[in-house]
Amino acid sequence: MERANTASAFLRRLHPWLGKAVHTRWTVRRAFYQREVDALLMALQAHDGGRLSPELRLRLEGFLGRLYREWFPPTWRKDPTYAEVIADFRWWLGVAERWSEPVPRPPRSRRVREPLANQPKRLLRMLALPLDCTERRFLTAWRRFLKSNHPDVNPDQTPEERRRFAEAVGLWRR
């Protein structure tokens, strides 16, 4: 990282993970690394944005080297170059950011279509229902019809009303 803006972008990407990552073999507390990243970011902001000064570059390389030795196992790379250190951190950050993304859920349909009433058209017309009425709407109308037209509830029905009731019961599909 030769330029200040590249280094600061990398450190800003790394900073939140310093507080989340827990490594049992860390010899220094996480707060040390967080403070060091904050100090490096402030130094980079004070920098003019061009090439890094040799002192700042050495400080950045030393910090990332120390963090690398504690972050990655010793068997990862024996003697990594600075470019390999940066590449490994970028790889780790990519994996960590992908794993931390929430799992996309399939979109839920907002309204569940109720099943249509599977009844004869003639019965639906007798109950004054549309042909595409739902099962729930049909049952509501059917129960109202039964309450108002049942011979036991209305003993003084006319023969026409009794015939209509018997026809409706004959058409009804359970």
Enter the pTM of the model: 0.53
Of the candidates 35, 60, 56, 32, the one whose C-alpha atom is nearest the C-alpha of residue 46 is 56
Question: Cβ(173)–Cβ(119) under 8 Å?
Answer: yes
Q: How far apart are CA 142 and CA 172, in angstroms?
A: 9
Residues 6+ away with beta carbon under 8 Å from 15: 34, 37, 38, 41
Per-residue pLDDT of the chain (174 residues; tens, 9 = 90+): 667 788 888 888 888 887 776 565 666 677 788 888 899 988 888 876 678 888 988 998 998 888 888 888 888 888 888 889 889 988 888 888 888 778 888 887 777 788 888 888 999 998 999 988 999 999 999 999 988 888 888 888 889 888 989 989 888 876
Q: For CA atoms 81, 82, 83, 86, give the dihedral sign.
A: positive
Q: How far is the C-alpha of 139 from the C-alpha of 144, rounded, in Å?
A: 9
Identify the pLDDT of residue 138.
92
For position 16, what pLDDT does the model report?
A: 81
